[in-house]
Structure 1
């Protein structure tokens, strides 16, 4: 396959027309024949999966220092005709291989069942008309259309439409939806939360941001401490056995003893020196542990993770979706002027639409306070609704009460609502002050206004929204700390949000950003990473380096996560744990996959 014409990073900085020219594309789309040709050149829009041969996988269990010595004993038993010994040694060797292979295969099958692979469809402009095609058939240069609820099928450059709100939490760790406009890039795997736009496919398959992250995960090969310990034991025993056998042969030669008797004695020494049953016993023990974990809804895909878990002393945990719920909720209501909290929330509810499934609207409607006002809302009728507009940056509703009175409500960015309502310097100062206070808490601030007469708006108050910690997060972190684990939170979110979440779950609040260590030499960077309680504003390669630096300081590192952005670090960690609801990339990279929500 050819390398794709351009990467996402280059496409981001190019004008739409320039990118069209580079990709030999047109605004009216590609012809089907062109698309077929590009599939042949660049491949399908999917990540190549390496399927290891089952026979090779099985034969791996016969490779290694201890296995070699057992196999040597097997050969000597056959040569001298000790068939009882031959049978016992063979059974032990096969038991180790069969148990290990079976457990690994069972785990692989369970994870495959967990992967709810959607046969994604994409709306594409081909041969001058819009049509539905399989997302895997998209090629660079295609013109596609994405709308509310769609999973973005490739890395695309937005070329037409008002705006798009995309949830990129699985890719970047950002818990808030990101607003996109013409010429912005929307990444493969992100979810459209609002809006509808036409876009140009810039990169597909492993050339996408998602694909590059998956490649990094593939490069993160690591040998466990347990495997290293077994190899060390094996090396020591091999040296001991060879030394003893050498001495036996020298003595036998000097004393002119029978070669057959010498081989028999060598066999006894090898069998005595090598714990032939050890691999089988270890495999069976770990398989029993894996089965016990499976009953607790944790699937083990790499058996050595069972042993590694016992030695973990640093646990790096992703914030969004692991410590927190990855769901916006209403945290605080602050009224202004003569308004009450209930008035502010009532206006915000009327300016929200449940059917749009916008995360902010859902947070307001599904809040405890919002549900309490559900019945009173029935006596009001929304006669007109203006959805969020990226130009005016607020939603607006015209409402009629049961007695026929009409009024308007609006919600949006605090400064936008301030400009709409006015209110003088005192109100502006109050909004600024609250904005700073909410930012320190990691809240997203929303302004609410009401107008009872045409053209006269009053600033009713503000709402604070945040992604709350899971109910069990604080208790789980305390349990981990009591067991001697140093828990470090890692997130792509802003530092203020990370500090507030750390405070809520009783973690230390010394949060470092990627800038604090990314340009430092390894020894200095390792020192910074070791001392920090958590990390904010990090990318996948930073998470990978955090794990790597901690390992370089002698730590056995566990890592939990659920997104594509966590996959490289999950693979690099000594024990990678994908939490419930994790993406396929995270599940594939992890050694343990949790199927029950929460972190306990």
Structure 2
């Protein structure tokens, strides 16, 4: 397209429009603002409860029992620090991934950010661009746009000079010059962007489960705490002691460390991935990708680097000599002036273009061809041979043989009649062989996914035999199980098709979407990689969309991950990071719920008992921090990259619940022993802390399996630190010495029974669980 006469706005005009507020708005940020991060971390229900409880403890004058508010402050500070650090890295990556818009100013092409577009700018639109603002076409070569975000219809709409263009739509073929008529709040872009750029609904199983637990506990904590407090007063317990006991119970019921653990570890993962040049658009998508069992690859830009190289011109018509064909081909390519990889490869070889086009049919991924009328020379088309002419058996076999050798085969033909959607009387002139450049890291990356139990499929718009050949070269299993999607009827059973086939060629955009949907209907969690406008529907349908930064802006805008360096092997880091986070949280979560469970049980029991609640707030600190909090954060960093095993509920059933029952049993047992042999209340509290810590330490060992040197170090340091508190900091935490008959003697005997008791409770729990299942049947 010639645009020498188009001058566009001058610098002075641009500055005037900016001063008048006629400037486009910035895209919505991917991350929360610093203010939002601080607000969301500080103003939580649990923090409010902690502050109220701290005020109650302050009233009693037992200031050391306010230690829990320091822990809450540290938790909040850590959460804020990690989220802000993650935000800065993600924002930096988002800036790198942002695609600029080409505008004409002062007669020159200038690349500007979307928010730098002003009213009256002249924008150059090309294949794959997302239209950032509203405008009117000044000049075009039969531009086609997808306005599905507005109309709901995915069919391409042909635009002509003077046609209106709406922000949020995508260019699917052709190119154009557009004059900006609306910017900022006057355009559709803000509402459309929210629809286009929002990732899939958060289907994070783990995070949603944690949120449900928190919601239930929120309902329980406050009324149960009030009831316990009233009960203490009713049984004649002194006001200050009643307050301290109630506060200890409510603190124990709050699993604030679990919330912090999940949010901070995901934020840290986003930070680590951003440092590896992977942009995470949504933290929940890290978990989603970790659960993926089927990865669908778009050949171009993923297995290959998106670049093509011309290999050979094969003459098929004696009425044309090779030189004239080169000139006709060059004229077609330069007159259509597409900016895709095929056009770029052909422009380098067919650089003579003596003829001008009187009519143009630009390339469309749905049509699979483009065409021109070159004055008196006639009508010429270039595209997939199957789509531009009716091939005879020999031609079909020839194309098939070249495709099997790994070539991309294009047909160049002359047509008697040419329109936007139809070719009549096409005669083949020549075949053009093009080859893809395979990414050097592709074979190793694919092998890793196979080793991790992820099934691989290739969905491409290219010839299936060509795709299969490339798939064989990079090591994709069952590469010979391929299908040409042009032969698949609309009413075909896609769920059966995706079970039997691995390579899908000649796939139209809407078929890509249906293939992804069929895999999901078969029970798979599906990730899709892509970089082209024809991948948009499939990326939106997938559970997890992955785009290359080298792709167009419309593709990146709806992806969950953007690979900034367009480095396919970076997917290994994403999968490993996701699995590390989810596996570790899955294993560790049960530690936090032990305290919650036994605190709820004890609160209910002590509603009906005259005795004081068995803990003071300060006495829970060594258990919360040394047996659970600190070890869990180090365990969350351990390299656990195996496939997701969904052990969250299993951990609650097998570790958290039996441990909580054991804590309740030993506290009641210690209470009974103290009544029989006369142990004072201070020693009783010390025994309660000692036995509870021992049970939590045993649970720590269980969740750390399989144990290695790193995990053994965490386990040993935790128990050493716990004993250090008893030996040297006992007075601070209201603990008596271990070297007494009451604590040392009774405590030693009870510690010997912890493991057998846990095993017994665990087996009883399994027994009753089995009985309940049988009764339900």
**Range class of TM-score, shorter chain:** 0.5 to 0.7
What SS does the corresponding residue of 1:222 show, helix, strand or coil? coil
- Displacement after TM superposition at 1:564 (Å): 6.7
Q: CA deviation at 1:265?
A: 1.5
* Structure 2 residue 381 is matched with structure 1 residue 413: yes
After superposition, the CA RMSD in angstroms is 6.4
Map of 1:94 onto structure 2: 76
TM-superposed CA distance for 1:531, in Å, is 8.2
Asked if the contact 2:403/2:466 (under 8 Å) is kept, the reply is: no
Partner of 1:258 in structure 2?
238
How many Å apart are 1:228 and its aligned residue? 0.8
Match of 1:445 in 2: 410
Shift of 1:200: 7.7
Residues 396-445 of structure 1: CA deviation (Å, up to 9, x unaligned): 9xxxxxxxxxxxx9995379x9xxxxxxxx99885576568779999452
1:484 and 2:453 equivalent?
Answer: yes
TM-score, normalisation: structure 1: 0.59
Equivalent residue for 2:38?
58
Matches within 5 A, 1:168-247: 214-218=193-197, 220=199, 222-223=201-202, 224-235=204-215, 238=218, 245=225
Cα distance in 2 between the residues matched to 1:582 and 1:200: 25
- The whole-number CA distance in structure 2 between the counterparts of 1:266 and 1:239 is 16
Is the contact made by 2:79 and 2:264 (CA closer than 8 Å) also made in structure 1? no
Instruction: Tell me how far apart the structure 1 counterparts of residues 293 and 252 of structure 2 sit (CA, whole Å).
Output: 36
Tell me if 1:107 matches 2:82: no
The answer to whether residue 431 in structure 2 is matched with residue 462 in structure 1 is yes
Deviation for aligned residue 1:114: 0.8
Q: Is structure 2 residue 295 aligned with structure 1 residue 315?
A: yes
Provide closer, same or farther for how the CA distance between residues 561 and 462 of structure 1 changes in structure 2, counting only shifts above 3 A: closer
**Counterpart Cα distance in 2 of 1:287 and 1:120:** 34
* TM-score scaled by length of structure 2: 0.48
Residue of structure 2 in register with 1:580 after alignment: 549
Sort the Cα spacing of 1:489 and 1:239 in 2 relative to 1 into closer, same or farther, 3 A. Answer: farther
Distance 1:133 1:277 in 2: 47
2:508 match: 537
Alignment correspondent of 1:277:
257
Is residue 2:467 matched to residue 1:501?
yes
CA contact (8 A) 1:100 1:283 kept: no
Q: In the aligned structure 1, how far is the partner of 2:177 from the partner of 2:274?
A: 45
Give the Cα–Cα distance (whole angstroms) in 2 for the partners of residues 345 and 433 of structure 1: 26
Q: Which residue of 2 aligns with 1:597?
A: 566
Cα distance change on mapping 1:362 and 1:560 into 2, 3 Å: closer
Distance 2:356 2:219 in 1: 75
2:57 and 2:43 map into 1 onto residues whose CA distance is: 19
Secondary structure of residue in 1 paired with 2:509: coil
- State the distance in 2 between where 1:252 and 1:104 align: 46
Give how far 1:98 is off: 1.2
* 1:355-413: CA deviation from partner (whole Å, max 9, x where unpaired): 978655642465xxx6xxxxxx9xxx97x8225664795799xxxxxxxxxxxx99953
Asked if the contact 1:334–1:462 (Cα under 8 Å) also holds between the matched residues in 2, the reply is yes
Unaligned runs of 5+ in 2: 1-7, 9-16, 150-155, 362-370, 415-426, 570-777
Which residue of structure 2 aligns with residue 3 of structure 1?
Answer: none
User: RCO (CA 8 Å, sep 6+): is it higher in 1 or 2?
Assistant: 1
1:71, 1:549 → 2: CA distance? 51
Q: Which runs of 5+ in 1 are unaligned?
A: 1-28, 30-37, 172-176, 371-376, 397-408, 418-425, 450-457
Using a 3 Å threshold, how does the CA distance of structure 1 residues 229 and 181 change in structure 2: closer, same or farther? same
Distance 1:204 1:442 in 2: 45
Report deviation, 1:319: 5.0
Structure with the higher fraction of residues in helix conformation: 2
1:95–1:280 contact (8 Å) kept in structure 2: no
Whether the 8 Å CA contact 1:167–1:190 is kept in 2: the answer is yes
Q: 1:49 aligns with which of 7, 17, 28?
A: 28
1:581 is paired with a residue of what secondary structure?
Answer: coil
Q: Which protein is richer in strand relative to its size?
A: 1
Residue 237 of structure 2 aligns to a residue whose secondary structure is coil
**Distance verdict in 2 for CA 1:117–1:580, change over 3 Å:** closer
C-alpha distance after superposition, 1:539-592 (max 9, x if no partner): 59x85x987887787655544444577678767866543323245555565554
The answer to whether the 8 Å contact 2:23/2:118 transfers is: yes
Whether the 8 Å CA contact 1:145–1:199 is kept in 2: the answer is yes
**Contact 1:333-1:345 at 8 Å conserved across structures:** no
For residue 257 of structure 1, give the secondary structure of its aligned residue in structure 2.
Answer: coil
Count of residues in correspondence between the two structures: 500
1:386 to 355, 370, 388: 355
- Aligned partners of 1:328, 1:434: CA distance in 2, in Å? 21
Deviation sequence 1:134-187 (CA, Å, 0-9, x none): 983457xx9x685999977767776767x468899xx9xxxxx99987688888
Q: Which moves more between the two structures, 563-572 or 308-317?
A: 563-572
Structure 1 residues 425-440: aligned runs within 5 Å: 434=398
Q: Distance in 1 between matches of 2:110 and 2:346?
A: 35
User: Offset at 1:463?
Assistant: 0.9
Q: In structure 2, do the counterparts of structure 1 residues 75 and 561 end up closer, same or farther at CA, with 3 Å as the change threshold?
A: farther
Deviation at 1:94? 1.7
Partner SS, residue 482 of structure 2: coil
Separation of aligned partners in 1, 2:326 and 2:22: 48
Contact 2:544 2:560 (C-alpha < 8 Å) held by counterparts:
yes
> Match of 1:325, SS?
strand
For residues 160 and 215 of structure 2, the distance between their equivalents in structure 1, rounded to whole angstroms, comes to 61
Would you say the 8 A contact 1:344–1:448 is kept in 2?
no
CA contact (8 A) 2:22 2:119 kept: no
* Distance verdict in 2 for CA 1:227–1:146, change over 3 Å: closer
The answer as to whether partners of 1:318 and 1:490 remain within 8 angstroms in 2 is yes
